[in-house]
């Protein structure tokens, strides 16, 4: 494997936007190019982080407060940064992460009830202020996300409409975060085909990695 340049790349966006699809395709592309890379998903990626993931995803934990949830995400992320992301960057890997702290900011501050400044501050602490070099925001609207999830799109029942209001705040949050962090963010129109989205991503990655 040739060792070109360490780079930290994250994927952000709503569920069903195509993050996991594109993260996997990028990982495969880099492997094909013989560039050392690692693909991670949040929450998880270390023994401790996977245990935290199980707590977060347990449907029985209905009493979990938004703050506890955020702290658990942050703890999982903190362990992942120290144990996996930083060591791999040191060894010259391209680290690809399917979601990172922008998701906490979008879902729990913009979408939820937590103070934006507090979330940003904990994000910094949890990651030792390790920022991605590139963040791809795969931009699809909540309506489009709902239609991909097999929902009926425009005809929403009461529950779905409530969810839609939440996802709308999250979506606007991602857009706001992208606007405030223009140096690292690349906004990709996620309504195009998988191949079109990938080619847009590869254009940026090739340029940054000088492939
Ligand atoms: N550009 C695209 N156009 C149409 N369908 C897509 C596109 N990208 C992904 N999908 C499909 O949408 C679903 C969600 O994709 P996924 O990559 O799992 O999204 P995420 O990880 O953001 O939740 C999958 O069934 C996937 O095949
Ligand atoms: Mg996914």
Please work out whether the CB of residue 23 comes within 6 Å of at least one atom of ligand 1: no
The predicted pLDDT at position 158 comes to 59
Calculate helix-pair angle for 116-127, 66-80, nearest 10 degrees: 30
C-beta of residue 102 within 8 angstroms of C-beta of residue 9 = no
Relative to the CA of 191, which ligand 1 atom is closest? 1
- For ligand 1, is residue 113 a contact (CB within 6 Å)? no
Residues 6+ apart with CB under 8 A from 158: none
Q: Please choose, from the candidates 127, 117, 107, the residue with its C-alpha nearest in 3D space to the C-alpha of residue 174.
A: 107
Angle at 34 between CA 28 and CA 39, to 5 degrees: 40
Superfamily of domain 7-209: P-loop containing nucleotide triphosphate hydrolases (3.40.50.300)
Q: Is the peptide bond before 43 cis (omega within 30 degrees of 0)?
A: yes
pLDDT computed for residue 153 by the predictor: 47
Q: Indicate which residue's Cα is closest to atom 12 of ligand 1.
A: 16
pLDDT at 1 (0 to 100): 52
Phi, psi dihedral angles at 94 (to 5 degrees): -90, 120
Q: Residue ranges of the domains in the chain?
A: 7-209
- 19 alpha carbon, closest ligand: 1
Distance 94 CA to ligand 1 centre (A): 23
As averages over each run of 10 residues, the pLDDT of the chain (211 residues) reads 78 96 98 96 96 94 95 98 98 97 98 97 98 98 87 56 87 98 98 98 96 85
């Amino acid at each position: 494997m040739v060792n070109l340049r360490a780079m930290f790349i994250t994927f952000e966006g709503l569920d069903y936007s195509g993050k996991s699809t594109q993260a996997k395709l990028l990982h495969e592309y880099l492997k094909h190019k013989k560039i050392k890379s690692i693909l991670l998903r949040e929450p998880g990626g270390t023994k401790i982080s996977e245990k935290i993931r199980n707590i977060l995803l347990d449907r029985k934990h209905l009493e979990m407060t938004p703050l506890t949830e955020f702290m658990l995400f942050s703890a999982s992320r903190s362990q992942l940064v120290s144990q996996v992301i930083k060591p791999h960057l040191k060894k010259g890997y391209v680290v690809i992460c399917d979601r990172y702290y922008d998701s906490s900011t979008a879902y729990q501050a913009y979408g939820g009830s937590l103070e934006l400044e507090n979330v940003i501050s904990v994000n910094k602490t949890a990651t030792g202020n390790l920022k991605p070099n590139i963040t791809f925001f795969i931009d699809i609207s909540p309506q489009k996300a709902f239609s991909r999830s097999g929902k009926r799109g425009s005809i929403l029942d009461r529950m779905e409409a409530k969810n839609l209001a939440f996802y709308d705040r999250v979506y606007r949050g991602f857009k706001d975060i992208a606007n405030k962090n223009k140096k690292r963010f690349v906004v990709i129109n996620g309504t195009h085909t998988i191949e079109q989205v990938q080619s847009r991503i590869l254009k940026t990655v090739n340029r940054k990695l000088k492939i």
